[in-house]
Amino acid sequence: EIKAVIFDLDGVLTDTAEYHYQSWKKLAQEEGISFTREDNEQLRGVTRRQSLEILLKGKTLPEDKMEELMVKKNEYYQELINNITMEDLIPGVEELLNQLQEDGYKLAVASASRNARTVIENLEIGKKFQLIADGYSVKNNKPAPDLFLYAAEELEVEPEECIVIEDAESGIEAALAAGMHTVGIGPEERVGQADFRYDKIKDIKLADIVQ
């Protein structure tokens, strides 16, 4: 029996994947590194440091330079997310959250991002969630199951009583490793491992996934 629904943030509730892309792109241009939208697909759901490592394509830099680049990227990103409003909720999200709330499910956000609270505050959806697990909550990030297991523990439900809604391959992997039910949002090649897959969050049929 499903008791809780755990939402990824970036790419599921709002399209911050685009803002992450623009921020990394700006940094890459300044550093003379090529970086395309396609490259950005690999960064979905992975941490800031791992994202930088992927951007550098295996090139190693001294730790202080790594720190400097991560700080810069985050400044660019924060400038963009400051302008987020409830208009930036992905279509269908509000209706889905309201329905789940009405049906009595526990709701949580589990995001790899350290900026998750700011984004949720700007979207004005904080009150809907019993828990916000973010980039500060656990040490090992997605694809490790830790963030989702932490969420289940905090919500006082078993992993098999949880559904995770994710847009990233690393996120689906993490949720499956946690022993949870999974809904992938996006193309087959990205989230095809999920129990259910939809192109868009507004396509979700609740009766199919909550059994």
**134 noted as active-site residue:** no
Stretch that binds Mg ion, among 2-10, 31-39, 119-127, 190-198 (CB under 5 A): 2-10
Stretch that binds ligand G16, among 106-114, 121-129, 179-187, 194-202 (CB under 6 A): 106-114
Q: What is the DSSP string of the chain?
A: ---EEEE--BTTTB-HHHHHHHHHHHHHHHHT----HHHHGGGTT--HHHHHHHHTTT----HHHHHHHHHHHHHHHHHHHTT--GGGBPTTHHHHHHHHHHTT-EEEEE-S-TTHHHHHHHHT-GGG-SEEE-TTT-SS-TTSSHHHHHHHHHHT--GGGEEEEESSHHHHHHHHHTT-EEEEES-HHHHTTSSEEESSGGG--HHHH--
Copy the structure tokens of residue 141: 């990030």
Among 25, 26, 44, 128, binds ligand G16 (CB under 6 A): 44
Stretch that binds ligand G16, among 3-11, 56-64, 150-158, 195-203 (CB under 6 A): 3-11
Altogether, the residues listed in the chain come to a count of: 211
59-118 positions binding Mg ion, by CB under 5 A: none
Total binding residues toward Mg ion, as defined by CB under 5 A: 6
Of the listed 10, 15, 88, 134, which one is catalytic?
A: 10
Among 134, 146, 167, 173, binds Mg ion (CB under 5 A): 167
For helices 116-123 and 63-81, what crossing angle results, to 10°?
0
130-169 positions binding ligand G16, by CB under 6 A: 135, 168
Tell me if 47 is assigned to a ligand binding site.
yes
- Shortest Cβ 74–ligand G16 spacing (Å): 6
**10 noted as active-site residue:** yes
Q: 13 vs 100, which CB is nearer to ligand G16?
A: 13
- Closest CB to ligand G16 belongs to which residue? 111
Q: Is 190 in the site for ligand G16 (CB under 6 A)?
A: no
- Closest CB to Mg ion belongs to which residue? 11
Q: Write out the residues near Mg ion by the rule CB under 5 A.
A: 8, 10-11, 45, 167-168
